[in-house]
Structure 1
Amino acid sequence: MQVVAAIYRLAIALWLGGAALFTFVLTPILFRSESRDVAGRIVGLFFPGYFRWGIACGVIAIVCRLVMGGKWTAPAAVIIALMLTLSSFQAFYIEPKAAEIKKQIVSFETTPKDDPMRRQFSKLHGVSAVCNLSVIAGGVVLVILL
């Protein structure tokens, strides 16, 4: 049972660490060092894997909680379920929709901000950012609960 508990803690730590690294370190470095279009293209290439990483960590954490027993309605289990739901929403709805819209925007540097496609993309980006920060906040709470 100690091995399962260790895998559970590792899954949470890797999920939170991956999200924090991507959000607060890698993405800002890319956008500071490259043009907006190049940085956006690079980040867009990483998104599918980034979201799959979160989903994999979440599934592992849920399986570990089930194996360890305990109440499924415990705060940690609810937080994991919410985080997994948000990551799945980003992976299977927001990211594909945003990628499709991005294809229709020739350049974020030259396309006016009030362009309908840019406005649509900005809305999706805002929803995705809230989901992402919520996943990170949930991860922080889970680490504190450990």
Structure 2
Amino acid sequence: MLETLASSVFLMAMGVWLGGVVFFSFFTAPVIFERLPRNQAADLISVIFPRYYKLGYACGFLMIVAGLYPSWREPGLGMATLSLSFALLATICSIYAGVVVLPRVRRLRQTAASSAGTSEHSANRAAYIRWHQISVTINSAVLILLITQVLIYGYRIRFVVAGDA
């Protein structure tokens, strides 16, 4: 019973988080930047981002809590422990992106915009671009970790839980 509950919560949180990352990254953000002027698009995205990261925090927390039971039950450092580790890493990445990177990107974007036409503009713009790229890289890492989670989960269902060899 507890195994079923833990697996269901883990799977649901993983699916919601992965779906959110895919939908935002490949559908929402590109359409917003395609349809709106760049500054308006950036303003809208900056309103969405805190909610986007909160979704990651909540789903990551649920995955970690739900992943504790199977990792404790499986002998040795098996797939459940690997899965739990990846959930923890994805959650840490999401927290870092939301708590550290997002405020810095916002601040650097404002600084770059307000320094237009000054000698500092190039350096400010470069700093903004660098931290924006860090944000994109972290988001990509979370996406890869979540896709890997799907593969691990499928492996665990087939080989570990079902005992299929």
**Given the two structures, how large is their TM-score scaled by the length of structure 2?**
0.79
Q: What per-residue deviation string (whole Å, max 9, x for no partner) do you get for residues 9-38 of structure 1?
A: 000111111011100100000011111111
Q: 1: distance between equivalents of 2:43 and 2:130?
A: 18
- Is 1:91 the equivalent of 2:98? yes
Aligned residues: 143
Bigger Cα Rg? 2
Q: 1: distance between equivalents of 2:142 and 2:113?
A: 31
**Given the two structures, how large is their TM-score scaled by the length of structure 1?**
0.89
**Residue 51 of structure 1 corresponds to which residue in structure 2?**
53
Go from structure 1 to structure 2 and tell me whether the alpha carbon gap of 1:89 and 1:37 turns closer, same or farther (over 3 Å shift): same
Identity percentage of aligned residues: 22
Q: 2: distance between equivalents of 1:49 and 1:96?
A: 14
| Structure 1 residue 70: Cα displacement | 3.5
Q: 2: distance between equivalents of 1:104 and 1:119?
A: 11
Q: What per-residue deviation string (whole Å, max 9, x for no partner) do you get for residues 40-82 of structure 1?
A: 1100111111111101100010011123434695211111111
**Residue 141 of structure 2 corresponds to which residue in structure 1?**
134
Q: 2: distance between equivalents of 1:111 and 1:33?
A: 27
Q: 2: distance between equivalents of 1:91 and 1:53?
A: 11
What residue identity is the alignment partner of 1:9?
L
Unmatched runs of 5 consecutive residues or more in structure 2: 154-165
- Is 1:101 the equivalent of 2:108? yes
What residue identity is the alignment partner of 1:98?
V
Q: 2: distance between equivalents of 1:103 and 1:127?
A: 17
**Residue 3 of structure 1 corresponds to which residue in structure 2?**
5
- Is 1:35 the equivalent of 2:42? no
Structure number with the higher helix fraction is 2
Q: 2: distance between equivalents of 1:31 and 1:98?
A: 17
Where relative contact order (Cα < 8 A, 6+ residues apart) is larger, the structure is: 1
Go from structure 1 to structure 2 and tell me whether the alpha carbon gap of 1:111 and 1:22 turns closer, same or farther (over 3 Å shift): farther
| Structure 1 residue 111: Cα displacement | 7.1
**Residue 62 of structure 1 corresponds to which residue in structure 2?**
64
Unmatched runs of 5 consecutive residues or more in structure 1: none
Q: 1: distance between equivalents of 2:98 and 2:8?
A: 27
**Residue 120 of structure 1 corresponds to which residue in structure 2?**
127
Contact 1:8 1:61 in 2 (8 A): yes
User: Could you say what the CA RMSD is over the residues aligned between the two structures, in angstroms?
Assistant: 2.0
